[in-house]
Amino acid sequence: MQGAEGLFEPMFISDEMAPVTSAQNWVQKMVEFEGALATAQGELGLIPIDAAKEIAALAVSHNLDPTELGVKARASATPVIALVKGLGDRLSDASRPWIHYGATSQDVLDTATMMVAKEALQLIFGELLSIGSSLASIGARHRNTPMVARTLFQHALPTTFGLKAANWLEGVVSAGVSLERFYWEELAIQFGGAGGTLAALGDSGVEVGRRVAAIVGLSFPGLPWHAQRARIAQLGGSLSLVIGSLAKMSFDIALAGQAEVGELSEEQGVGGGSSALPQKVNPVGPIVVNACFRRMQGLLPVLYGCMLAENERGAGEWPAEWETIRDLLNITATSAQRSAMTLANLVIDEGKMLDNLKLSRGNVMSERVLTKLSMKLGRIAAYDLVREAANRSTLNQSTLHEELTKLEAFRDSFSADEALELFDPLTYLGSAQTFINNALERWQVALPGWRRIAMDEKA
């Protein structure tokens, strides 16, 4: 089975990711490790070259059933024992003694996990490229589109939609940089043998390990990490940062899509419907991303708990990682794919953004008025005056400008033209343009590395 199966799984596993994180691919990567190990040992004269070739050939002919291996794993708490036996059964008598020579179960499965993760990260970065490109375009195009900034769900100050998109972009880039670092620096084989010393290979262990790493396309670490699970926790943490940054953006989009707000929505035909309400177009993309984020919150602690692995091999921590990592890879890819789709089909209502900015009747400019008036009256007196005027504005459903111009202290402080200028939101955006530029520049810095990952190129 190469795709996601079951009632719920397909919603959380994309068609592109399903074969990468499938049981078949995990088994395939384990077999490829065994083949790389034999090849390296054959080249170094540690095992017969004919046996090495026969073992390596199993990568295309093994036909092992993942479910059968999983069932047999119940007896040993690892599928590798059944895998090695199954591969041995497919070898000649002369080659059979050399399969899995000098390795241990954790070497096989940990390295396979890194190989699967590498393929998965390439797909994830492909989606992140699309997301970054969309956000950069939105940020640049809407750098002067006025809207209200909301703090604690309340209207706060004027901002622009371009700056909002730039903040989303900055979050995605920051999370992606962490995942990119993992890709280039931490995708390493695990190779330590039974106790982490590679004693069975004598003085050749490190040389074998380096060759295996080169064959499978991973790095060779300074020492085995079978009982140091920070690498797995780092992978999980980096994936979770990506999910979190996408969930933050998706939640903002969903909030902006409420009928009472109406600033953003998914294009008709992209959003989902209701089984009971024909008129509804639900924000399906953000909903799925939020669901992935909620699942992530339960998965990540498992990996951090596994860092306790006792002595030279944890008694239970290692098996707890397998499905957890697979689930995190799947939901990260799904979050990225759905976010990319949402941004590609995002409907932006600039008119509604401007209307909402005007809803507070000028009260969003109170900070500016306070700052300027403080120079005339002092901070305390100016604060009291502006706050009382804002309260009257809310009570009377009038504008802040109208209430302030009733006050002699305000009229004495500003001319009529100066007073009007205080309430122009587009002249009170501070460093918004600089911040947008900074986000766009950082994206341009990240872009080449992400593109190399997505295209499986060397750094």
Binning pLDDT at 50, 70 and 90, where does residue 6 land?
confident
Is residue 272's pLDDT more than 70?
no
Q: Per residue in 356-406, pLDDT tens?
A: 999 999 999 999 999 999 999 999 999 999 999 999 999 999 999 999 999
The DSSP 8-state label assigned to residue 186 in this structure reads T
Please enumerate in sequence order all residues whose Cβ is within 8 A of that of 221, keeping only pairs 6 or more positions apart, or say none.
Answer: 188, 189, 190
Q: Per residue in 35-86, pLDDT tens?
A: 999 999 999 999 999 999 999 999 999 999 999 999 999 999 999 999 999 9
Q: Is 266 helix (H, G, I), strand (E, B) or coil?
A: strand
Q: Which of 141, 181, 274, 379 is catalytic?
A: 274
Residue with the larger pLDDT of the pair 144 and 269: 144
CA distance 166 to 137: 10
Average pLDDT, the chain: 94
Question: Minimal CA–CA distance to 385: which of 404, 362, 372?
Answer: 404
CA distance 327 to 73: 20
Q: Which CATH class is domain 1-103+197-224?
A: mainly alpha
274 is a catalytic site residue: yes
pLDDT of residue 4: 66
Place of tokens 């396979």: 112
CA distance 296 to 244: 9
Helix residue ranges per DSSP H, 44-160: 49-57, 66-72, 80-89, 105-141
133 is a catalytic site residue: no
Superfamily covering domain 107-190+226-359? Fumarase/aspartase (Central domain) (1.20.200.10)
Question: Minimal CA–CA distance to 35: which of 20, 21, 54, 17?
Answer: 54
Q: Is 390 helix (H, G, I), strand (E, B) or coil?
A: helix
Binning pLDDT at 50, 70 and 90, where does residue 1 land?
very low
The DSSP 8-state label assigned to residue 306 in this structure reads G
Q: Per residue in 126-182, pLDDT tens?
A: 999 999 999 999 999 999 999 999 999 999 999 999 999 999 999 999 999 999 999
Is residue 101's pLDDT more than 80?
yes
**DSSP annotation string for 138-180:** HHHHTTT-EEEEEETTEEEEEEEHHHHHHHHHHHHHHHHHHHH
Is residue 224's pLDDT more than 50?
yes
Q: Which of 96, 210, 313, 442 is catalytic?
A: 313
CA distance 434 to 423: 22
Average pLDDT for residues 254-282, to the nearest whole number? 76
| pTM for this model (two decimals) | 0.93
CA distance 33 to 21: 17
Is residue 2's pLDDT more than 60?
no
Question: What are phi and psi for residue 119, nearest 5 degrees?
Answer: -65, -40
